Amino acid sequence: MESEILVMLSMERLCESRQLRNKLLNVHYVGGNGGEFFATMMQKHSVFEFHEDCDNDPKAVKYEFKRDQFDNLSQYYLGWGIDDECLTNYSPKDFFQKLWVTSPDKWTLRVDHGYGYNTQTEEWRKGLYTDWNVSKTIILNCTELEGATYCRDLCYQKVFTVNDYKVYQNHTQFIKDNGVTPEDNLRKWGEVFFYDKEFALSKIGEMLWRHRPNFHNFWENPLQFNIDLTKEYIDLIPEGYDYLEVDPMKVLHTEDDEEREEQLIRIFDYLELDYSILDECMLLCEKYMKDNRNKYKFGTQRS
């Protein structure tokens, strides 16, 4: 009897020392698939902790979802524990256990490309799933080549600017003309090729090529890149947790109001939310679609 009491007390202490966080919505998405706009829109629902100072550059139709001050996209941690090239001075484990301040009563919303989920996977799985009372996942995944190409091209222009787009658009021919492979890109060309910008991609380019050798598919084969990364997102999710795949072409870039509404309702139903912001989201998505079409003329024929 005494031994049973001691076991129960130790279990209680273990539970107290590992207090679970409240609720988390993960938004996993390939760059260009609209994750930051989507998160900025979704947080308008009262169940979410509101992130102040989210930014929208109307000239570029580019949204920035304001992150926790210690939160970084997963690719910033590439190499941690393997070498000294991590771009933070702390690991995902340190962030999750010591630095991340989350709401005790509302949903926390987090966006990530997941380019770094393939290293320290167990730390990501624990920090994004098993440490939470509730953890849901929405994956923005382009399911057709046309949509994947369209979203990739949006990313090109918004990150590298419109003028530089022409350079990156022709990278395939550049590779063929110069015999460049992803593996020898940095060794052969230094920062002349791709990584001449002061953006996240330029800062972590070498690590991305080293730790994610299929990253060239982002440019070369955007549909395959969506397929491969979506599989990684799903593999990261522990047994017993669910997820919802949403094609951004059917909700963020469609001209069909019925299709857009159907997708938004799928999202609200998955999260068990009311439809209080449905009409507002319909208008925001329509404006986002039109702004992108008007700004970036390459477009798509899908309606």
Task: Give tens-digit pLDDT for 35-55.
Answer: 999 999 999 999 998 787 776
- What is the enclosing helix (H) or strand (E) of 207? helix 200-211
Taking CB atoms within 8 Å and a gap of at least 24, the contacts of 275-278 are 276/45, 276/46, 277/44, 277/45
Question: Where exactly does CATH 3.40.50 map onto the chain?
Answer: 21-147+222-295
Is residue 111 within 8 Å of residue 52, measured between CB atoms? no
Q: Can you say whether the dihedral through the CA atoms of 97, 31, 22, 10 is positive or negative?
A: negative
Q: What is the pLDDT of residue 163?
A: 45
pLDDT(198) > 90: no
Mean pLDDT of 267-272: 98
Range 21-147+222-295 has CATH code 3.40.50: yes
To the question of pTM greater than 0.85 for the whole model, the response is no
Distances (CA, A) of 8 to 2, 4, 180: 10, 6, 62
